[in-house]
Structure 1
């Protein structure tokens, strides 16, 4: 019997820092009628949205594929293709990948362990919105970024320059789907067959070679130089 391949896991510290930077990048000003904790500077609504954004941070090849989708929809935005190329022409899809499991509604991972240190240190607060009176079903999770959390997020790059990749990547992922809710992002991710066809409770497999092949085609059509990395992958 062949032993299953080991799955690369992030440490709790890595998960906590990545989620803090992602919440900092994604947080929007809370609504005026929203009951927010003191010192709140922004809020991220729905666990679905946070999970789907996190998926693209943890799977650079899937993110590159989505950037190519955006480029095909707006070919005048050549920078999108350049961003995809920067990802796929490097070792990033392997070095930065931290696998996630497929659950009923797509990529999902329990967040409580990673968020607990952020809550304990007064960096974020989280709450649950329940359904109608008499129901005990959570209909929405809300993550509040506190002033201290923003200060720490902004100081991380100064104190640990190696985190620059995560700062830029979380900002890119958020900008890619600015204004979209979690369900809309989930629906976009399901458009890719490799994502949609992943069996339930199995890890999403990399799509690096498929993405590189598509990049070569788009570069050829746009008469852009094909990199050595892409040539070697062919």
Structure 2
């Protein structure tokens, strides 16, 4: 069954309420499903219980259960296939998220669930892990996962929270320079850079960019703009 995946750049745009801009996309992506497993492992300074409660408050239409509450998380993900549940993964620190996925042996079960038709929605770190690796995350490596290899739902890389803003007087490397470093060393691996308030949707074998703020594809030495509705299915193949 084709994967049904929504990769949101961020949980907020500007100073809006938590998940406010994303909620219509989330509910539409879920279809008639309202039971969701929430993966809170990207949280560091917030407890997993608090994080789950925050998502539940933002999505009162859904029944949100934290994956951390199960004695056997991998089994809970596997059972989501038959239970008709969806999987949500929140933002935070991508390294902490991936380390916890490896710790709980969740990479293969999550991929299997998605391959079996379980809807998946992630934002920020939860989107980062949909790429081949997490090597283009903006996050600090506060913990070392066993590998940078991620879910590989896309064979390319993602960069949520993309911004090309260059503060006056700032002398560090810009986001564009950092992404260009990656594509210089990995010229055959594109990076899909998506601004806050935008998303990528993988459904029915098609990858589509969504959002009025636009984004960019970094590939080799090229930087190409992408706009709302653009078909990016070429990046599903390497």
TM-score normalised by length of structure 2: 0.26
* Structure (1 or 2) with the larger CA radius of gyration: 1
Greater relative contact order (Cα < 8 A, sep 6+)? 1
TM-score by length of 1: 0.26
Structure with bigger helix share is: 1
